[in-house]
Structures are given as structure tokens and as C-alpha cells.
């Protein structure tokens, strides 16, 4: 306990003047108690539901909301755009780059005598990388995984076989779109 606090304010048990059991009103839109609707990302829908179904509670919330706006009487646009505490965050859309459609294949050393094959650029052709990695692993009987935004690592040196397999599996990728980068360090 902090210094100077009165223990009477922290008393447990029933409070005088409060009717038990407590009844809590829940929002039909977000299924939270109506006091917490303002922290929900779709607060406007909650307000419409509250206005339609519980008009007395809506009036209380509107009167409370007017006192919080400050001296200017209206909320800032920044307050509306910025997310309040909690709730669901906004998902950022992935950016579509205008990168040239090019698949690059390279080999990288792994240990003393072993190597891995690195394939990049398949996502520019809208190919699911997880499906492609699984396909490579099945075809070449080896491990294959997605590492990074647009990179598949295949265990072993299968670079020469990929030049035939990729156009066969995905006809939209012509042999002209596949480039050999040779041996690279990772």
C-alpha cells in the first residue's frame, strides 16, 4: 500500500447503496459490456445498435461523450483515425511491386561438400511459395522450405533439373524468364 491511503476506501465486500446482483448490459454488435464499446474497432456500428435497442443508455453515453471532447466541442480527426487501446489492429495490405517477372536460380554452399539451391521470383508469377516448396521437395526427394518473402531453399544441388521442371509444372513461366546466377554465398 502507498503512504497516506485510507484503508476504508479499499474495503472488500458489498458496497452501501449498490443493488446486488449486478446487472450488466451487453452490446449486440460486439458482445462486450456497453462501457467498452468505444474501444472496439467498429464503434460506429455499436452506437447504431445501442441507439436502436437501448435508447436510454445511448443518451447517457452521448452526454458523457460530449463532456470529454474538451474546449473546442468537437473531436479531432486524429482521434478518430488513431486506434484506441486494445481491439483489432488494421491489417496492412501487401504492396504490389512492378518488378520484372524473373525467376532466378542459384546454388549456395552449405558446410564442406554440401550445397543448397535457392529459387527466387516465383511470387511475381502469383505462385504460392508453400505449394511450390512442397512440390520441389516431393520431386527431388529432399527438404525444401520457404525462407523470406520470395525465396525457396532446396537441399542439394538440383539447379540443372529445375530449368526443365519449372516450365513443365507452371506453363506460364517460360524458359526465357529463368535466370542462372551460378554459385552465390548466402
* Res 77: pLDDT: 53
What pTM does this model have?
0.49
* Res 79: pLDDT: 52
Query: Which H or E run contains 36?
Result: none
* Res 95: pLDDT: 56
Residue 35 in domain: yes
* Res 33: pLDDT: 87
Q: Which residues are 119's β-sheet partners?
A: 105, 152
pLDDT in tens, 131-149: 999 999 999 999 999 998 8
Q: What does the alpha-carbon distance between residue 16 and residue 9 come to, in Å, rounded to a whole number?
A: 12
Please state the φ and ψ torsions of residue 8, each to the nearest 5 degrees: -70, -30
Q: What does the alpha-carbon distance between residue 122 and residue 96 come to, in Å, rounded to a whole number?
A: 14
* Res 59: pLDDT: 83
- The domain spanning residue 162 has which CATH number? 3.30.780.10
Q: Are residues 40 and 109 in the same domain?
A: no
Residue 90 in domain: no
Residue 7 in domain: no
Residue 15 in domain: no
The list of the chain residues with pLDDT below 70 reads 1-10, 65-98, 186
Q: Are residues 60 and 119 in the same domain?
A: no
Q: Are residues 48 and 115 in the same domain?
A: no
Residue 8 in domain: no
Residue 12 in domain: no
Q: Are residues 40 and 107 in the same domain?
A: no
* Res 140: pLDDT: 93
Residue 152 in domain: yes
Full domain range(s) for residue 129? 103-183
Domain count, the chain: 2
Q: Are residues 113 and 177 in the same domain?
A: yes
165: nearest Cα among 115, 105, 110, 124: 105
* Res 50: pLDDT: 85
Residue 168 in domain: yes
Amino acid at each position: 500500500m502507498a503512504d497516506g491511503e485510507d484503508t476504508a476506501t479499499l474495503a472488500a465486500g458489498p458496497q452501501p447503496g449498490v443493488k446486488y446482483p449486478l446487472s450488466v448490459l451487453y452490446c449486440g454488435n460486439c458482445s462486450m459490456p456497453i462501457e467498452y464499446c468505444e474501444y472496439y474497432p467498429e464503434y460506429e456500428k455499436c452506437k447504431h445498435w445501442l441507439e436502436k435497442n437501448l435508447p436510454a443508455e445511448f443518451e447517457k453515453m452521448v452526454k458523457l461523450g460530449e463532456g470529454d471532447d474538451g474546449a473546442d466541442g468537437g473531436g479531432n480527426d486524429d482521434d478518430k483515425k488513431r486506434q484506441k487501446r486494445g481491439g483489432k489492429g488494421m491489417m496492412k495490405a501487401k504492396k504490389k511491386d512492378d518488378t520484372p517477372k524473373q525467376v532466378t536460380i542459384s546454388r549456395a554452399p552449405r558446410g564442406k561438400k554440401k550445397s543448397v539451391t535457392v529459387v527466387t521470383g516465383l511470387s511475381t508469377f502469383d505462385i504460392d511459395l508453400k505449394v511450390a516448396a512442397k512440390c520441389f521437395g516431393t520431386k527431388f526427394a529432399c527438404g525444401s522450405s520457404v525462407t523470406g518473402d520470395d525465396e525457396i531453399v532446396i537441399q542439394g544441388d538440383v539447379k540443372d533439373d529445375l530449368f526443365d521442371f519449372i516450365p513443365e509444372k507452371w506453363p506460364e513461366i517460360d524458359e526465357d524468364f529463368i535466370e542462372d546466377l551460378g554459385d552465390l554465398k548466402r
